Structure 1
Amino acid sequence: MNTVLAELGRRYVERWVAVLVLPGLLYVAGAVAAHRLGHAHWADVGRLAGLLDPGGPLGGGRTSLWVLAFVVLPVLSAAAGLAARGAAAALGRLWFDPWPYGLRRLARRRTAARAKRWRAADRAYLAELEGSGARPPAEARARIDALAARRNAVALGPPGHPTWTGDRLGAVGARVWAWYRLDVVFAWPRLWLVLEESEQNALRAARAELDTAVTLAGWGVLGLLPAVWWWPAPLVAAGVFAVGLRRTRAAVDTLAHLTEAAFDLRAAVLARELGFDVPEGRLSPETGAQVTAHLRKHV
């Protein structure tokens, strides 16, 4: 048991250093450089020389340098990392969860605008599908596929969230319910227990990639602070945020696909483990409804 705890402690320290301290150290160094350059000398890299020299802005005696390197910088780096995680948590609330009360009106307007776009794209898709007949030629099939992709780029179903990421994750529950009549909220903890280790690892990796991407966007938000001293900072922050947002969308799509795939592959196994008579093949909606009633337990 002591060996297990020691290994867990070692991995926790490694993760703490990788997630908080190292990116925070880069951020602190960038903030110090931005303060040193200022607005007037924003591109004068020569002003950064001698920062740690004796008598310099950050210099001092040997003891001061040791304190700076092993006490001040790690603390500031960890503080910056925690601030970035806080910004990431706020972004996650906006991207994945219902918006807070003060933003409900804006959320309704954004959701309505996205729903309007989705309905227009869906009408164009259905019109092309109906006009092409039962066996459309290759050119018509290409147009149908393009219109379907255009609609799905807005959302896989009628939007119910102000952001694409929120709708993409919400679509998993809607699609699983429509196909299997399984309630994802109640079924997921039980389904996790019947997944194979490789499947669990794939989902863990997808979730870790999502957390990393949202944290990168959080660093982009935090990158706006050095703009007080250095005017190009918002440009750098915007680039970091854009990369974080792009990676977040990709990670959300991957996680949603893997979660839905877990139900496609293991829903019947879950039903059999719960004692339901399920023949080989996929879970039927009728049996899925019984499984959901069993899992909800009248809740």
Structure 2
Amino acid sequence: MNTFLAELGKKVAERWLSLLVLPGTLYLAVAAAGATVLRHGDWYDLGMLANHVNRIAARRRGAGQVVLASAALLLGSAGVGLVAQSVGSGVARLWLATGRGPVGRRLTEQRRRNWQKAHQAYRRVLLERYRRQQGWGEAGDSDPLPDSARLLVLRNRICLVEPDRPTWIADRMRAAGERVHQAYDLDLTAAWPRLWLCMPEASRAEIATAQVAFTSACRLAGWGLLYVVLAVWWWPATVIAGAIMGTAWQRGRAATAVLAELVESAVDLYGRDLAQALGLACPDAFTPDHRAALTRMLRKGV
């Protein structure tokens, strides 16, 4: 037991160090160097920064002062890390927002128009290809058609279903539920907690890993927003913030894509197991009758 607790404490300490203290220490260093010493006018003057550090290092300090300064740095770094986590939670809500406000509605409408335009282009090519295959084409219809597969990819880059959210991330998660409903007539929101209990540990671990990756991307975006604050005193912090936010958005999209695919795959693989666990007899195929009965059962008449 003592060995287990020691190992658990070691892992917690490592996680605390990597998630809070190290990024927080870097942030405080940038804040001290850029916002306190360099400022806007001397943003590039590394020589002045080096002289400032040398003056601080030359001051004589007792052991107590060193301990107190180290403790203050450690606590300050952890505190900034906790703030970044809180901001990251807000970023997650923003990325997954339904967008019912005026700005969200405008963004949603723009995404919907882009998707409909791409969808119409894809449909036109499919209809023209079918028309030619049926021999309904005219004499001048010898020009090669655009690549329908490429047009489908362009449409799906916007969203797999018609958009109804202001961000790609929110729509990709919504699309998982829409696609499950279209394929199985199953309410994913009602089914997911029960489906989670039916899944093997390995499958749940894969989904949990994707969720952790998304949370990490949101936390990284939180750090990016904190660097925006430093730009008030040291403008190069905007460059740092832009790089961090861009990386966070790309990681968030990648994690969302993996998570949504895993959720859909879980329904594909374990939907029949869920029906059987709830007492529905489906030894061979998961038929539409089973799906409708399962949805009624999970919703409990609501």
Q: Normalising by the residue count of structure 2, what TM-score does the alignment of the two structures yield?
A: 0.88
Change in CA separation of 1:285 and 1:16 when aligned onto 2, cut-off 3 Å: farther
Residues 1:118 and 2:115 are matched in the alignment: yes
* Aligned-partner SS, 2:230: helix
The amino acid of 2:153's aligned partner reads A
Give the Å deviation of 1:292. Answer: 1.1
Residues 1:286 and 2:289 are matched in the alignment: yes
Change in CA separation of 1:48 and 1:262 when aligned onto 2, cut-off 3 Å: same
Work out which of the residue numbers 192, 195, 198 in structure 2 matches 1:194: 198
Residues 1:95 and 2:99 are matched in the alignment: no
Q: % of aligned pairs identical?
A: 38
Q: Is the 8 A contact 2:92 2:215 kept in 1?
A: no
Which has the higher mean CA deviation after the structures are superposed, 117-126 or 35-44? 35-44
Inter-partner Cα distance in structure 1 for 2:94 and 2:279: 40
Q: Is the 8 A contact 2:97 2:166 kept in 1?
A: no
Which has the higher mean CA deviation after the structures are superposed, 56-65 or 12-21? 56-65
Backbone CA RMSD of aligned residues? 2.5
Q: Which is higher, the Rg of structure 1 or of structure 2?
A: 2
Inter-partner Cα distance in structure 2 for 1:151 and 1:188: 28
Moved over 4 A (4+): 1-10, 50-59
Inter-partner Cα distance in structure 2 for 1:74 and 1:260: 43
Q: Is the 8 A contact 1:168 1:256 kept in 2?
A: yes
Inter-partner Cα distance in structure 2 for 1:284 and 1:57: 78
Residues 100-121 of structure 1, C-alpha deviations (whole Å, 9 max, x = no match): xxx7011111111111111111
Q: Is the 8 A contact 2:23 2:77 kept in 1?
A: yes
Structural mapping, 1:30-41, within 5 Å = 30-34=30-34, 35-41=36-42
* Aligned-partner SS, 1:160: coil
Inter-partner Cα distance in structure 1 for 2:15 and 2:80: 16
Any gaps of 5 or more consecutive residues in structure 2?
134-143
* Aligned-partner SS, 1:49: helix
The amino acid of 1:277's aligned partner reads A
Inter-partner Cα distance in structure 2 for 1:90 and 1:118: 27
Alignment length (residue pairs):
292
Residues 1:222 and 2:261 are matched in the alignment: no
Give the Å deviation of 1:40. Answer: 2.3
Any gaps of 5 or more consecutive residues in structure 1?
none
Inter-partner Cα distance in structure 1 for 2:110 and 2:60: 56
Q: Normalising by the residue count of structure 1, what TM-score does the alignment of the two structures yield?
A: 0.89
Inter-partner Cα distance in structure 2 for 1:132 and 1:82: 57
* Aligned-partner SS, 1:133: helix
Give the Å deviation of 1:79. Answer: 1.5
